[in-house]
Amino acid sequence: MEISVYLLEHNYETDDGMDHAKTLGIFSSEEKAMLMIDKYRKLPGFKKYPDGFLIDRYVLDQAWWLSGFGID
């Protein structure tokens, strides 16, 4: 049985070229992650960059880095 989780992050670049990234949570469904985006968008640290949210799906017990560093 395949089990997935959904990683919620917020990323943005400021005017001085600095990248900022925050891991906000890991959720059992994409819908739950999207609900959290609605809550975060209202907060001062996030509403300035409302398009910086990203949800990535990961399957548990699956390797993601399969080449390079002598693995291949």
Domain residue extents for the chain: 4-59
Confidence of residue 64 (pLDDT cuts 50, 70, 90): confident
What CATH number has the domain spanning 4-59?
3.10.20
Largest Cα separation within the chain, whole Å, is 46
pTM, two decimals, is: 0.83
Average of per-residue pLDDT values in the chain = 92
In this predicted model, what pLDDT tens digit does every residue of 5-23 receive, in sequence order?
Answer: 999 999 999 889 999 999 9
* DSSP assignment of 8-60: EEEEEE-TTS-EEEEEEEEESSHHHHHHHHHHHTTSHHHHTSTT-EEEEEEET
Burial of 72 (0-12, 13-18, 19+ CB in 10 A): exposed
